[in-house]
């Protein structure tokens, strides 16, 4: 009888062991789900906090909604470490004094302590031709062409100069380049428009065209610590890239743009 009873009890033990394994597995699965749900909630809360802080710190005249996405691994682990791996910022419908501006940036090494600086930020600003002219008009700079045209890799504008008491109007095709906090429009070709049919003077002036270069300070459009790194000009559109290191994403920093001393 003993061997038969032991044989009968063996399947029951195996069933109990299987049930125990299933229960433990379900509990572990529920725990994992709970961790990820809690982590998602914490991540969402952090995104909203970052969005609110940046929105509240924007300079006067800057409006628009901002989307914030905290990337990287588990948020809780990043938070305990004191630094977020990656934060994506996007504001496709931003407006600066009513001028539409598309903005996107990626920040890495973002400290949980908001008084500390991030490791690095890179981003882009997209502007239409009308937006470029509106921003330039708002800048108050006195050396800016009245109307800037954006072409394929080049910038066009009209200007004039005075010779022997006569004002001569000319149309310029220029190449934009970055020099520190200044964008310099260096003419590559020019045409007198004051004469019937126009007269190309680019070949005549040659290297002297550079004398008509127009410097445009862009520091006032950027928070202190942010550097313009590139310009891509296409027909009717400008894409500017920027970068920053050791930047503090605080209300004071965002509301303190650079200045153009020579106006």
Domain ranges for the chain: 1-101, 117-263
- Burial degree of 208 (CB within 10 A; 0-12, 13-18, 19+): exposed
Selected residue with higher pLDDT from 189 and 197: 189
Yes or no: say if 148 and 133 are a contact pair by the CB < 8 Å rule.
Answer: yes
For 38, the enclosing helix (H) or strand (E) is helix 2-57
State the average pLDDT over residues 139-152: 76
Instruction: Tell me the backbone φ, ψ of residue 259, rounded to 5 degrees.
Output: -135, 155
SS3 106: strand
Query: Among all chains, which residue has been given the structure tokens 């809780």?
Result: 76
Residue 75: CA atoms inside 13 Å, Cβ hemisphere, count?
A: 18
Angle at 72 between CA 67 and CA 77, to 5 degrees: 115
Per-residue model confidence as pLDDT tens digits over 190-216: 777 655 545 455 554 545 566 778 888
Angle at 49 between CA 116 and CA 88, to 5 degrees: 75
Per-residue model confidence as pLDDT tens digits over 8-40: 556 666 666 666 666 555 555 555 555 555 677
Percentage of residues of the chain with pLDDT beyond 90: 15
Written as six digits, the tokens of 154 are 């080049």
Selected residue with higher pLDDT from 93 and 190: 93
Residues 249 and 49: their CA atoms lie apart, in Å, by 12
Q: Where are the beta strands (DSSP E) in the chain?
A: 62-63, 67-70, 83-96, 99-111, 120-128, 148-150, 155-163, 166-179, 182-192, 199-200, 214-217, 226-234, 237-245
- This prediction has a pTM of 0.74
């Amino acid at each position: 009888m003993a061997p038969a009873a032991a044989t009968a009890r063996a399947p029951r033990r195996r069933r109990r062991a299987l049930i125990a394994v299933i229960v433990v597995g379900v509990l572990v699965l529920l725990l994992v789900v709970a961790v990820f749900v809690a982590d998602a909630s914490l991540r969402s809360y952090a995104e909203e906090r970052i969005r609110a802080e940046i929105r509240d710190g924007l300079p006067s005249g800057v409006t628009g909604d901002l989307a914030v996405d905290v990337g990287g691994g588990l948020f809780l682990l990043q938070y305990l470490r004191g630094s977020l791996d990656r934060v994506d910022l996007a504001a496709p419908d931003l407006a600066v004094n009513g001028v539409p501006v598309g903005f996107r940036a990626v920040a890495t090494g973002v400290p949980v302590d908001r008084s500390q600086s991030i490791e690095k930020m890179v981003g882009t600003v997209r502007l239409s031709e009308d937006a470029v002219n509106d921003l330039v008009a708002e800048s108050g700079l006195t050396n800016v062409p009245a109307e800037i045209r954006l072409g394929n890799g080049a910038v066009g504008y009209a200007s004039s100069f005075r010779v022997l008491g006569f004002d001569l109007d000319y149309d310029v095709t220029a190449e934009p380049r970055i020099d520190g906090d200044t964008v310099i429009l260096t003419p590559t070709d020019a045409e007198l428009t004051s004469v019937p049919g126009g007269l190309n003077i680019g070949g005549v002036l040659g290297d002297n065209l550079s004398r008509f270069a127009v410097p445009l300070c862009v520091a006032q459009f950027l928070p202190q610590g942010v550097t313009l790194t590139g310009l891509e000009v296409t027909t009717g559109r400008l894409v500017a890239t920027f970068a920053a290191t050791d930047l503090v994403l605080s209300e004071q920093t965002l509301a303190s743009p650079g200045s153009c001393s020579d106006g």
